[in-house]
Structure 1
Amino acid sequence: MTGATLVVGLGRSDRGDDGVGPAVARSVATRPDAATGLLVCTQEDPTALLDLWEGHDHVVVIDAVVTGAPAGTLHRLELGADAPPLPSGTWAETGRAGTHAFGLAATVELGRALHRLPATVVVVGVEAGCLEIGTTLSPPVAAAVAAADELVGRELAGHVPG
């Protein structure tokens, strides 16, 4: 495994609050304190994570989640190869169609089963309010982008590559 940290903004920018992952990733990519070797990307399909995170020991994924909390609420979940399995319904209801219906939790567990899960995966979830096609981020989620960026920054600062 490499020491490089991977940050992935998961979601579609044309589906309302589902675009929060890419929005936060774009913000993280412009951080003046971004670590050397930091890789930041966006992705619509959670199953693509299996290839994206290969070779990385520390991954931060930002995604829209639906838990019933108010829109814009931040959630943090630490996962990884040695962490216990996630319940099958964890953050599964993000209103996505197609292969994105295969959610982040299912992708993590598939990665675990295939022995392709990094040592540490931190999920920064931003509670979604509106997931309709053709809409932009709702005001509470747009307002949460800066706080999510800061949370990712703390994750990056707390990780020592190696």
Structure 2
Amino acid sequence: MDTLVLGIGNEIKRDDVVGLEVVDALQSRLDRPGVTFETMNSGRLMLIDELSGHDRVCIIDSIVTEDGDPGDWYVFDPQAVEPDKESGGLATHNVGLGTLTTLGEAMGESMPEITIYAIEVADPFEYGEGMTEAVSEAVPRLIEEIGDEIEQQVATAAATGG
């Protein structure tokens, strides 16, 4: 069972870097056969190539919700985060992961089971170095808690063969 842990973020946008930072830290914690780690500065249609060929992908990225506090985190499946009409619908700049997997399968690609770990941030669009204080302080806890979740997913998949 092959698992990719993929961090998505932008190194020059303060809180948006959190997905990259958490994945970098998880690499030493979850280093074992069958688990690989990558980071990307962009999503969109390029993700099809990154996702293809893996059995399972755990994506770690930032999110801003209406009621969340920086440092909160959520687990989604790709269908739960599809763009809607209010966000502009389907376009290359906001293609949802559910749509991406459907497109990948239509192109003959082997698409994985995907779990999204979304970390609440204060502002993913502010340019600058260093995360905001609230997000930065939450990183050790995020590494621990999200790491536990991914570790459990990997162990369950290994035990059940899927």
TM-score range, shorter chain: 0.7 to 0.9
SS state at 2:111 partner: coil
Deviation at 1:86, TM superposition (A): 4.2
Alignment partner, residue 42 of structure 1: 39
Q: Which of the residues 113, 119, 141 maps onto 2:103?
A: 113
Q: 1:111 & 1:118 partners in 2: Cα distance?
A: 6
Q: Relative to structure 1, is the Cα distance of residues 45 and 108 closer, same or farther in structure 2, using a 3 angstrom cutoff?
A: farther
Indicate whether 1:122 and 2:119 are aligned. Answer: no
Q: Which amino acid aligns with 1:140?
A: A
- Please list the CA deviations of residues 67-110 of structure 1 after superposition, one character each: whole Å capped at 9, or x if unmatched: 1211111111134xxxx564414xx7xxxxxx9x824x624413
Please say if residues 71 and 142 of structure 2, whose CA atoms lie closer than 8 Å, have aligned partners that are also in contact: no
Return the alpha-carbon distance in structure 1 between the equivalents of residues 5 and 112 of structure 2: 14
Amino-acid identity (%):
23
Superposition deviation, residue 12 in structure 1: 0.6
2:130 and 2:11 map into 1 onto residues whose CA distance is 7
Aligned length: 145
* Partners of 2:2 and 2:55 within 8 A in 1: yes
Contact 2:58 2:117 in 1 (8 A): yes
- Equivalent in the alignment of 1:17: 15
Distance 1:117 1:88 in 2: 23
- TM-score, L = length of structure 2: 0.77
Distance 1:137 1:107, change over 3 A: same
Whose helix proportion is higher, 1 or 2?
2
Q: Which residue number in structure 2 is paired with residue 88 of structure 1?
A: 83
1:156–1:4 Cα change, 3 Å: same
Report the Cα distance in structure 2 between the residues aligned to 1:29 and 1:63, rounded to whole angstroms: 16
Distance change in 2, residues 1:71/1:85 (3 Å): closer
8 Å Cα contact 1:50-1:117 kept in structure 2: no
Alignment-derived partner of residue 65 in structure 1: 63
Report the equivalent of 1:96.
Answer: none
- What is the TM-score with the length of structure 1 in the denominator? 0.77
Alignment gaps of 5+ in structure 2:
none
Query: Structure 2 CA distance, aligned partners of 1:158 and 1:118?
Result: 17
Computing the radius of gyration from Cα coordinates, the structure with the larger value is: 2
Q: What SS is found at the alignment partner of 1:121?
A: strand
Shift of 1:141: 1.1
**Aligned AA for 1:112?**
T
Aligned partner letter, 2:69 = P
2:132 alignment partner in structure 1: 138
